[in-house]
Structure 1
Amino acid sequence: MIRILFVCLGNICRSPMAEAIFRKKAAAHGLSEQIHIESAGTGHWHVGEPPHEGTMNILSENEIDAGGLTARQVVKEDLDSFDIVVALDAENLGFLQTLRKQTQKVEIVRLLDYSEREESDVPDPYFTGNFQEVYEMIDEACASLLEEVEKEWL
């Protein structure tokens, strides 16, 4: 089984959205039993909270199950237990890279590296309110990431 962790700042907008979207895509490809998917935040502010209302609404509009999503903070041990850690922006990517020990084999990537878009970072809709745009960016990149996972990991 491959283990994938999506990481943003507070784990209430972008990373739970990516977790839910990727989970649905994996299930559609019959890969639910082969891919374990979670999300976390680099910050502690929202630990234990459900996703942001805007995230819940956009997932519901797109018929994506958001059940069981609860914010948690990323910990050093995550880099031992996950195969791929996917940052939603450069700030979180940098944080994850500082946590990583040289002996850890985890692959740390940025989500939009799997996109044809010019942007490098998924903007935080907590501050911008652009949940639809963020959904589209994540959905597109998750499709490409899943293709990569199927080719390289499964």
Structure 2
Amino acid sequence: MKTYRILFVCLGNICRSPMAEYVFRRLAADAGAAHRVQAASAGTSGWHNGENMHSGTLKKLRQHGIDPSGFASSQVKPGDCGRYDFLIAMDDNNLAELERLFGRRPGQIFKLTDLIPESGCNHVPDPWHTGDFDETFRLVSAGSRALLDKLSLTANCSGRS
């Protein structure tokens, strides 16, 4: 059985991408597929390297019963394209930076919202600027469920978030 390695990417790696990492892990565990995925997150900038998640992200994860422990922000590394099956960006700027670093690879590097066209959103808004951690959580959860479907890992998914 294949294990999928997934890297969620935003700008600073303290709001959106760690939220996606932890939500995706939780949904994979709920689907009985935790052993088939390795999820991580990183930022395109190194502004927050070594820091914990934003307090709004921590609060939102805890609110949904997701343990946010064990996190430290990091930056995308040159070898990440070979290390991960998917590098999933939160917005166009993150996608452009990944494509600048690794080239255009639509099957491997894409935006999370590409998986949820029905959402009407073409990016996951940055709650650092919007303050809306609820909307970020909603989109990250929907995108994570769609990713589990794409990887055919949802046989037992409860849909809980």
The reply to whether TM is greater than 0.5 is yes
Matched, 1:92 2:94: yes
119, 128, 134: which is aligned to 2:130? 128
Counterpart of 1:80 in structure 2 is 82
- What TM-score do the two structures reach when normalised by structure 2? 0.89
Q: Which runs of 5+ in 1 are unaligned?
A: none
Counterpart of 1:109 in structure 2 is 110
Counterpart of 1:69 in structure 2 is 71
Correspondence 1:1-154 to 2 at 5 A: 1-101=3-103, 107-115=108-116, 116-150=118-152
Q: Sequence identity, in percent?
A: 41
How far apart are the structure 2 equivalents of 1:106 and 1:134? Answer: 24
Secondary structure in 2 matching 1:150 = coil
Which sits farther off after the overlay, 14-23 or 28-37?
28-37
Q: Which amino acid aligns with 1:42?
A: T
List structure 1 runs of 4+ shifted beyond 2 angstroms: none
Q: Is the 8 A contact 1:80 1:106 kept in 2?
A: no
Query: Size of the alignment, in residue pairs?
Result: 150
Q: Which runs of 5+ in 2 are unaligned?
A: 154-161
How far apart are the structure 2 equivalents of 1:146 and 1:96? Answer: 22
Spell out, residue by residue over 1:47-96, the C-alpha distance to the aligned partner (whole angstroms, 9 max, x if none).
Answer: 00010000000000011121111100001200110001100001000100
Deviation of the 1:119 alpha carbon = 1.3
How far apart are the structure 2 equivalents of 1:18 and 1:57? Answer: 14
How far apart are the structure 2 equivalents of 1:94 and 1:80? Answer: 18
Spell out, residue by residue over 1:122-151, the C-alpha distance to the aligned partner (whole angstroms, 9 max, x if none).
Answer: 110011100011111111111111110127
Q: Is the 8 A contact 1:79 1:100 kept in 2?
A: yes
Secondary structure in 1 matching 2:66 = coil
Deviation of the 1:6 alpha carbon = 0.1
Secondary structure in 2 matching 1:27 = helix
